[in-house]
């Protein structure tokens, strides 16, 4: 059932409009280890752009560079429309707290999604229905508890480091909000960062990790996404290179109808 | 043979240091249809960061948003060190010309690549040797003539649109500079945009296309890259979704030694 009252996610990612300067704040519900969950930060930034009076079109791409930990409390979003074209808008956003340096630096492209030739080159991976899989409940980190993860492949096992490493870095899972919420661009960008760090899978242990940069592309218009009327997506994530303290991650988010609606890549720091 | 005189690429992507404002200029040799080749623009931006007196570490990630066509001639690069950490630096660069709006907006992350656990999850795709394949010479666009493309799969056929579309969007090819040049971070970022637009492959016809945003990750330190001592890479590119005037592209750049040294994604506008 969809909630009628404001969803925790909407409450957490709320922003207050200033002029070019907007305000938001961290939420204990979307807290990670040393700062907010990166997907929360990306969603809050995207919300400021979606709610911006000069917004036109739909989110097409967003890149968030995580420059420094965000402390508990309020933050400012310095939102700038860098270039407005006939059918696209380019944005830059800097997140800061008080007089401190920039903690997150983001760029985004919005675009009018006009009709065109359409083609999807790949089919959705096999997936048993969401309802047939028990939710994953083994991690007590606040942000993780806001999600309903149902693993089809790559079920986390973070306390089994051993001589057989490296293990597979691949995961396939359904992702929904713990309290179901209709998926929109905001939850989509948040879910694009909701995969556990690939290093945890590849080594089957928890090591210090932090996302350094995240890029997410949207392959669907917001009207079409609303028409999908979904509360969970199939997420697939993998990594290709772990080297000299950084590794990549690439991910796909699929609508249960079989549409690839978002793709994402990131680089993260790890200590191992 | 490596050239002893300055390479065309280095001449084209040269930058002149100002204070926070740097200057560069377009090159007829790296011209595309309505502006410079996007890889040239990305490389010129990256060069300003690599040559910046406050640079520390190696390029880890760069995102370039192409906001508007760049006109022939000089351009300014407004380079800003947004955040300096102990082992990483976050940069933002705006490219503009005269009093015109921003034409390209970029962010980049540089990092000290410290030793760590290392693992590559995938092996290089099969590839006959570079020297055994004839160069691709069918496109007379200036920037294309600067590269030595040797196709293993997805040999371009842009004048065969027909009822069998969509065709494969996948390509596998060796990429080197036409005048061989030892590959460094600059040529790597340029080559990450040197794949022909996937829409040309999927439809086997040339249609209006422009890269809107490009993100490239580097999986190797610049010292290790120098030690590879290579003048060409194996490039693989594919697309997943063509929808409502935009499509994605993802690509890999492999050292002939079998190392995955860079990965890239982009979203491009198309009219079809």
**Candidates A82, A102, A243; nearest CB to B83:** A102
DSSP strand pairing (B232-238 vs B171-177): antiparallel
Are the Cβ atoms of A121 and B213 closer than 8 angstroms?
no
**Candidates B85, B88, B240; nearest CB to A263:** B240
Q: Could you tell me the CA-to-CA distances from A82 to A185, A249, B91, B103, B118 in Å, in that order?
A: 21, 29, 16, 9, 39
Look-up of token digits 């050292």: B255
In a domain, B228, yes or no: yes
In a domain, A49, yes or no: yes
Residues 179-208 of A with CB under 8 A from B: 202-203
CA A123 to chain centre: 22
Mean pLDDT over residues B143-165, rounded?
90
* Least confident segment among B33-47, B149-163, B200-214: B149-163
Q: Which residues have C-beta within 8 Å of that of residue B191, sequence separation ≥ 6?
A: B39, B147, B175, B183, B233, B235, B253, B262
In a domain, B117, yes or no: no
Query: 3-state DSSP call for residue B114?
Result: coil
Are B51 and B186 within 8 A, CB to CB?
no
Confidence band for A1, pLDDT divided at 50, 70 and 90: very low
Mean pLDDT over residues B41-55, rounded?
96
CB atoms within 10 A of CB B134: 7
In angstroms, the separation between the Cα of residue A249 and the nearest Cα of chain B is 10
CATH number at residue A247: 2.40.160.210
Mean pLDDT over residues B212-225, rounded?
98
Cβ–Cβ contact B169 with A under 8 A: yes
Counted domains in chain B: 1
Share of chain A above pLDDT 90, in %: 85
In a domain, A120, yes or no: no
The alpha carbon dihedral of B96, A82, A191, B246 has a sign of: negative
Please indicate whether residue A125 or residue B100 has the higher confidence score (pLDDT): A125
Mean pLDDT over residues A53-81, rounded?
97
pLDDT at residue A100 greater than cutoff 90: no
Using a CB-CB distance cutoff of 8 angstroms, which residues of chain A are in contact with residue B224?
Answer: 244
Cβ–Cβ contact B9 with A under 8 A: no
Are the Cβ atoms of A215 and B92 closer than 8 angstroms?
no
Element (H, E) at B213: strand B209-218
Determine the pLDDT at residue B4.
62
pLDDT at residue B1 greater than cutoff 50: no
Using a CB-CB distance cutoff of 8 angstroms, which residues of chain A are in contact with residue B81?
Answer: none
CA A204 to chain centre: 23
In a domain, B25, yes or no: yes
Are the Cβ atoms of A263 and B260 closer than 8 angstroms?
no
Confidence band for A58, pLDDT divided at 50, 70 and 90: very high
Confidence band for B160, pLDDT divided at 50, 70 and 90: confident
In a domain, B26, yes or no: yes
In a domain, B246, yes or no: yes
Using a CB-CB distance cutoff of 8 angstroms, which residues of chain A are in contact with residue B115?
Answer: 244-245
In angstroms, the separation between the Cα of residue A208 and the nearest Cα of chain B is 12
Determine the pLDDT at residue A161.
78
Using a CB-CB distance cutoff of 8 angstroms, which residues of chain A are in contact with residue B61?
Answer: 65, 212-213, 267
Are A26 and A77 within 8 A, CB to CB?
no
Using a CB-CB distance cutoff of 8 angstroms, which residues of chain A are in contact with residue B116?
Answer: 242-245, 270-272
In angstroms, the separation between the Cα of residue A258 and the nearest Cα of chain B is 12
pTM: 0.96
In a domain, B127, yes or no: no
**Candidates B82, B213, B238; nearest CB to A61:** B213
Which residue range(s) make up the domain with B237? 8-112+134-270
Query: Which tens digits make up the pLDDT trace of A84-98?
Result: 999 999 999 999 998
Mean pLDDT over residues A191-197, rounded?
98
Query: Which tens digits make up the pLDDT trace of B190-200?
Result: 999 999 999 99
Query: 3-state DSSP call for residue B141?
Result: coil
* Least confident segment among A73-77, B138-142, B246-250: B138-142
């Amino acid at each position: 059932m969809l909630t009628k009252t404001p969803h925790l996610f909407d409450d957490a990612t709320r922003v207050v409009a200033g002029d070019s300067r907007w305000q938001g704040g961290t939420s204990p519900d979307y807290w990670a280890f040393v700062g907010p969950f990166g997907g929360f930060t990306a969603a809050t930034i995207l919300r400021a752009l979606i709610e911006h009076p000069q917004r036109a079109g739909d989110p097409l791409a967003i890149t968030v560079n995580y420059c420094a930990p965000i402390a508990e409390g309020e933050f400012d979003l310095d939102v700038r429309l860098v270039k407005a074209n006939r059918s696209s808008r380019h944005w830059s956003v800097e997140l800061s707290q008080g007089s401190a340096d920039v903690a997150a630096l983001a760029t985004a492209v919005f675009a009018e999604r006009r009709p065109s030739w359409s083609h999807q080159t790949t089919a959705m991976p096999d997936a048993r229905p969401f309802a047939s899989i028990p939710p994953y409940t083994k991690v007590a980190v606040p942000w993780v508890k806001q999600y309903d993860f149902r693993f089809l492949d790559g079920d986390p096992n973070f306390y089994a480091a051993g001589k057989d490493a490296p293990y597979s870095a691949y995961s396939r899972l359904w992702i929904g909000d713990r309290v179901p919420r209709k998926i929109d661009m905001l939850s989509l960008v948040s879910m694009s960062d909701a995969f556990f760090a690939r290093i945890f899978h590849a080594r089957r242990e928890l090591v210090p990790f932090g996302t350094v940069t995240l890029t997410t592309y949207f392959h669907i218009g917001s009207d079409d996404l609303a028409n999908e009327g979904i509360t969970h997506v199939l997420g697939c994530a993998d990594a290709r290179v772990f080297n000299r303290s950084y590794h990549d991650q690439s991910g796909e988010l699929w609508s249960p109808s079989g549409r690839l609606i978002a793709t994402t890549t990131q680089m993260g720091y790890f200590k191992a």
